[in-house]
Chain A
Amino acid sequence: MSRIEDVLRDALGDAPHPPTTQPPLRQLEQEIGRARRRRRSAVVLAVLAVVTVATVLPTVFLQSSSDKSVPVGPVPPGPGREPPALRDLGAVNPRAIAPDASVLYYLGDEAPTNPWFITRIDPATGKDSRLVQELPDPLSHLAVGLGRVWAFGGGDGAYSDLSRILVFDQATGRQIDKVTVHTPAAPYAVAFAQGSAWLTMSVLGEVWRLTPAPPGTPMRIEHIKVAGQPTDIVATESGYLWIRQSLKHSWVRLIPTRNGSGHLSAVVSWDGPMLSAAGGNQIWTREGSRLIALTPALLAQGISVAAGARLDLGEAPVAAAQTPDGLWAATANNIYWFTASSLRNGDPKPAYTISSKGAVLGLAAVGRGLVIHDSDGRLYYWDPRG
């Protein structure tokens, strides 16, 4: 016998005896009672399911429904319980979308004859209204934060003002600010934290902090040098921002300061994109076909458990939108809904999934549902729980 076996035998023989010597018989009895009730319910449900399937399946096969949604979660089968299909919102050439609670803002154009505009739409009812009738030049990005709608873009040198950031009052649509970049370097992305908008200026190698000021006073603009071409930016619940340095294959933390612009601290070696905030200090990112909730603050400390939930979607995830109820995730061809409880329980299976129409470009969680922006230039609304 090898010596390692002796050591192991001694070590196990020396394992401490648990301090609890009396079994929790009462608790055990309650659990056994619950298990028996569950087993009886399961038998009843199984019988019901067999009857339902036998009754409903022939009807379903006879109908030529275009609804491709597949409930794979806990919703019991039955007539009237299938999640609805994607609903076309009838948006006009949407270029960018931005959600805010139960409404969606989108930036569109009626080219070639009509100008660019911003529309506010309630996807649940389909009711919409123009917030901004006419933008001076084509823009490509939209964000909502700090009671304002932020539109920005340009950057290719084709327009007289070069790149610009336009800020509108969220309620009235009145333009309240304009920042000209003075160089063909459009902002790449924006995040909101500590009362400021933080924009990554990839080409300039900077992050701009824009802090709205009272009416009549100019917006405060501060510039922070960030090497390695800053692209994605996400604010976490700790109030910090994480910025992707795309050329350095890393993420860096930016800590906002009260009287200054902020300072850079931890650097994390991670090449994946930032798809969205994941709650707490986590950020949804991807690695191959997996969607990963990464805690960069832990990874920066070399802690190996920095990657939380990992969801293998079978193909590369392109977008994610976290809500208190759960997670919307998309690959180019499919959209998934995971409940918060399934993510917490460590056995995440999508409660619902549906095929997209065109390739998914972006997602926006709006109210109880989801707006999908696809490559065919359409916006669809999906509320599988509706």
Chain B
Amino acid sequence: MDARFAEYVSGQWSALLRYATVLCGDAVEAEELVQAALVRVALRWDRVEAKENPHYYVRRTVLNVYLSKWRRLRGRESLTASVPDVAMTDPTNAVLDHDVVRRALLHVPPRQRAVLVLRYLEDMTEAQTADVLGCSIGTVKSQTSKGLARLREVLDVNDDVVADFPGGVK
């Protein structure tokens, strides 16, 4: 393995795992996603390393691996012992917590979710997000808006309720 690639992986491993975990909602699956993405990156590391920002390319690869896996599996549901329903909050008690919000994010369509994760976890600007996703800034804006709307819908809250969220709005 290329020494510089190994060094890059060592430095980015945790951050990539966290990114992938938020994206797919499962730590084990996230590790598989990151590994599969890194194998792809390794095969063209010379070109990736020469890019202005290799991080964007690697994150885009993780996302592409996730989306292609999601596309492959969406026509087929796996049997599971646990019901994948998100525990809904009771707006009257404002019992929201961060975990509920992260789980609600899994109900946002994958591409919109990716936009939200890049914008609000990776703290990327709209331009940077567009660069990672290979789309226009306008698309990032519309996907962000739709993703947030879906999140509100899943959480069944409006901004007034969110305002009461204990750990939320500062």
Contact = CB atoms under 8 A, between A and B. Distances in A.
Interface of A: 2-18, 20-25, 27-29, 31-32, 35-36, 39, 295, 298, 303-310, 312, 346-348
A16 B76 CA distance: 30
Contact of B102 (A12, A18, A29): A12
A332 to B, nearest CB: 23
B76 A21 contact: no
A169 B123 CA distance: 75
Contacts of B116: 8
Contacts of B105: 8, 11-12
B121 A21 contact: no
Contact of A7 (B1, B77, B96, B121): B96
A7 B35 contact: no
Contact of A28 (B27, B35, B162): B35
Interface of B: 1, 6, 9-10, 13-14, 17-18, 21-22, 27, 30-31, 35, 38-40, 42-43, 72-73, 75-80, 83-85, 96, 98-99, 101-102, 105, 116-117, 120-121, 148, 151-152, 155, 157, 159, 162-163, 165, 167-170
A305 B83 CA distance: 8
B39 A32 contact: yes
Nearest to A348: B76
Contacts of A309: 76
Given A25-B9, A346-B72, A7 B78 contact: no
Given A11-B98, A15-B21, A310 B76 contact: yes
Interface residue SS majority, chain B: helix
Contact of A12 (B14, B120, B169): B120
Nearest to B40: A35
Kindly name the residue among A6, A8, A10, A307 whose own CB sees the greatest number of chain B CB atoms within 10 A. Answer: A8
Nearest to A12: B121
Closest 10 CB pairs of A and B: A11-B101, A23-B13, A11-B98, A12-B121, A18-B17, A7-B168, A3-B162, A3-B159, A9-B120, A14-B98
A15 B22 contact: yes
18 contacts: A4-B152, A8-B101, A10-B167, A11-B105, A12-B105, A14-B167, A17-B14, A18-B30, A20-B13, A21-B14, A22-B13, A24-B35, A28-B38, A298-B79, A304-B83, A307-B77, A308-B78, A346-B73
Nearest to A10: B168
Nearest to A305: B77
